[in-house]
Amino acid sequence: MRLFWLSVLALTASSQAQYFSEGWKPGQPAPSEAPNLAESVANPFEYVVPTQAAGEQGKGQEHKKEAPAARSGPKRLSELLDLNGILTSEPVAALFQKAGINITERLSKARESPWDPRIPLITDANYEEIIVNETLTEEEEKKRTWLLLVSGDLTHAGGISQFVDQVYDEAFNETLIANDLPDLRWGRIDYLNVTYLTTKWAVWQAPMFVIIKDRGQSLRFFKPQYIRIRDGGLREFLKQELYLHALPWDGPYSPGGSREYIMHYLAFTLMNIYNVTVLVPRWLLYVLSGSIASFIIQFMHRPAAKEPTQPRIQQPKGVGEKQAPSPGSSTSQTAPTKAGSAKQRKGKK
């Protein structure tokens, strides 16, 4: 009998130890759902941020969970061979620092754009969105005019590209102040980084002014050397609409022409080639191109192969054959005979 009561007490104690809550008390609302024990189990792959003191945030605040930071994947070959990444690495930057050169600051300044950020930069990706598909009414569409400047390399100080860019920025600032060209929009194209547009428009040099109307269907090209842009000449060229005196590009390869698709596929091919080659660092591209060019030059200027000389075969002389006298021996033999005959003639006299 005692064993029976001891076993009952042991079972009740073990069943009550499984619950941590005090249970329902009078005056409390009845629980609507049974507690879900699965929600209280933390995800073993998540990192739980420790909470602050209970007095500061309260007892009802839940633990905040944050996922661990994703590990950075393996770098591409172009990133490993990037000259900027090599120069900004800690060992190389420390060497430059000992020489008194802040290489990180200089590289950041070199990466800054030299152009006015207020003028939109037109690229292969945003041309359709900004110019072709611009939201306009019918009246605005007829008057809308875009002046694009195809800018070249600005690394050479004092070049024509730098001068034209300066004149272009000055005309833009004066137009903003005067506000006398409301239907004109300004834009710039980086000739070195835009491949599709420049190829489709057959623009092979920079700088170049491009006047765009009719959502890109009417194109006019002007070289800065052939128009007056100094001393406010560019603004007069735009205000008086002197560009309308020049005929737009009209031909089989122009926009809307019968052979426009040829320019499209050519530009698309060159753009994809550029997108692949731009992944290769420039210094490595220079080394590879120089090595290939040197190999081609050596291959084209290699000396001609010499033909092997065949040795002469001497035929053995026969027994009955007499050796032909040499020219020297014949003269030596004939000379004494002539002298002897001359002496005989003198003796006869």
The pLDDT assigned to 70 comes to: 43
Residues in the chain: 349
Tokens read off for 25:
């008390």
CB distance 263 to 197 below 8 Å: no
Top-confidence range, 41-55, 92-106, 164-178 = 164-178
| DSSP H or E stretch at residue 172 | helix 160-178
Give the containing element (helix H, strand E) for 187.
strand 184-190
Confidence band, pLDDT 50/70/90 cuts, at residue 7: low
DSSP 279-346: TS-HHHHHHHHHHHHHHHHHHHTPPPPPPPPPPPPPPPPPSSPPPPPPHHHHHHHHHHHHHHHHHHHH
For the segment 34-46, what is each residue's pLDDT rounded down to a tens digit?
A: 445 444 444 433 4
Domain range summary for the chain, segments of one domain joined by +: 78-111, 127-249
Question: What does the pLDDT read at residue 66?
Answer: 44
3-state secondary structure 197-239: HHHHCCCCCCCEEEEEECCCCEEEEECHHHCCCCCCHHHHHHH
pLDDT digits (tens, 9 = 90+) for 225-266: 899 998 889 999 999 999 999 999 999 999 999 999 999 999
The pTM is what?
A: 0.57
Classify residue 72 by its DSSP letter.
P
Name which residue leads in pLDDT, 184 or 301: 184
SS3 (DSSP) at 188: strand
Residue with tokens 């049974």: 34
pLDDT, tens only, 134-183:
999 999 999 999 999 999 876 655 578 889 999 999 999 999 999 899 99
DSSP β-bridge partners for residue 212:
146, 219
Cα–chain center distance at 125:
14
CATH topology of domain 127-249: Glutaredoxin (3.40.30)
Across all residues in the chain, what is the average pLDDT? 74
pLDDT at 282 over 60: yes
